[in-house]
Amino acid sequence: MSGLSEVYVHDRPTQQACNQFCNAFPETHVDYSATVFWMTGLSGAGKTTLAHAAARNLASAGHAVQVFDGDELRQTISQDLGFSHADRAEHIYRVARLVENTAKRGIISICSLITPTEAHREIVQTILPQANVVYVACSLQLCEQRDVKGLYATVRSGKITDYTGVSAPFEIPRSPDCTLETVFESVETSCARLEKYILSRAIL
């Protein structure tokens, strides 16, 4: 998809924005294993940083790509939801449906959501069969030290309950398609590995 670097959308994706974004692309044969890369891991593990870095590089190379950031989408399509298991499931369901709209047009969709349990990941697999699960592995201690979005501080203050890694569990994926060890790797190394994996799967 050469010449399409402008389709990388930096702003928060809403249903309307994604619909407008997709209008330039006709629906095609759905191959979610080639278009959807669902990044799971603790908050602060590096999911969003890597997703945007990889997307920028892929877009610069002419590939159509969209990033879906779970935390940002909580401020739009999921602003009515909390952090209970049920609310997380609903949030993941809504995002997966949004991703479906881009993926079925052959656009590379990189999704950054904690997606803490196997049950939550099954929701993704039901809507987006054979989507690639990318596990961004990082210790809770390091994630909390980073606290890029200030969420752990909010949790510790008691304003958020049932938060993954603190007061709610995170289940390590049983068989992820790709694992990025951000405890040991630099951002550049992990990003290069993510891009290489995406390019090995995507139909370009």
What pLDDT does residue 52 have?
A: 95
Q: Which residue has the tokens 């990318």?
A: 134
User: Bridge partners of 39?
Assistant: 112, 134
Asked if residue 120 has pLDDT above 50, the reply is yes
**How far apart, in Å, are the Cα atoms of 203 and each of 8, 75, 106, 178, 186?**
17, 32, 8, 18, 28
What is the mean pLDDT of the segment spanning 57-85? Answer: 91
What is the mean pLDDT of the segment spanning 123-130? Answer: 95
**pLDDT per residue over 20-33, tens digit each?**
656 656 666 667 88
User: Bridge partners of 109?
Assistant: 36, 66
Beta-carbon contacts of residue 28 (< 8 Å; ≥ 6 apart) = 104, 105, 106
**pLDDT per residue over 31-52, tens digit each?**
788 899 999 999 999 999 999 9
Supply the mean pLDDT for the chain. Answer: 85
Asked if residue 6 has pLDDT above 70, the reply is no
Q: Indicate the domain borders of the chain.
A: 5-201
Contact 132, 38 (CB under 8 A): yes
What is the mean pLDDT of the segment spanning 119-129? Answer: 95
For 5-201, CATH gives 3.40.50.300
- 202 or 70: which carries more pLDDT confidence? 70
What pLDDT does residue 138 have?
A: 95
What pLDDT does residue 194 have?
A: 97
What is the mean pLDDT of the segment spanning 54-74? Answer: 92
What pLDDT does residue 123 have?
A: 97
What is the mean pLDDT of the segment spanning 112-120? Answer: 96
Task: Report the range of poorest mean pLDDT among 85-94, 128-137, 143-152.
Answer: 143-152
